[in-house]
Amino acid sequence: MLKNQVLICTLIVLASGFFGSHIGGQITLMIHRQKCQNQPWGLKEVCNAWVTPGALWQGSTTGLWTGLVLGACVSGLVTRQRR
């Protein structure tokens, strides 16, 4: 039973981390791109291209860690043995 618990816990944590990474990257990208909205068309595209890598990196990293921690808590609750 212990091997199944470890496998289930690991899968939940990894899925939660990847999901958090994706959502965090998208949210941070939208926030950073709002800063470019007041620019004229040509400069807006340059601004968007400039902020995208940093925003995705920052949001994905934050979302990954948040997802991993929350996933570990949830999977620990799901897989614990009752006495």
Question: Can you tell me the distance from the alpha carbon of 46 to that of 40, in angstroms, rounded to the nearest whole number?
Answer: 10
Domain range list for the chain = 14-77
The secondary structure of 30-76, three-state, reads: HHHHHCCCCCCHHHHHHHHHHHHHHHHHHHHHHHHHHHHHHHHHHHH
Instruction: Please state the pTM of the whole predicted model.
Output: 0.81
Using pLDDT thresholds of 50, 70 and 90, give the confidence band for residue 3.
confident
pLDDT tens for 7-35 read: 888 999 999 999 999 999 999 999 999 99
Q: What is the pLDDT of residues 49-75, one digit of tens each?
A: 999 999 999 999 999 999 999 999 999
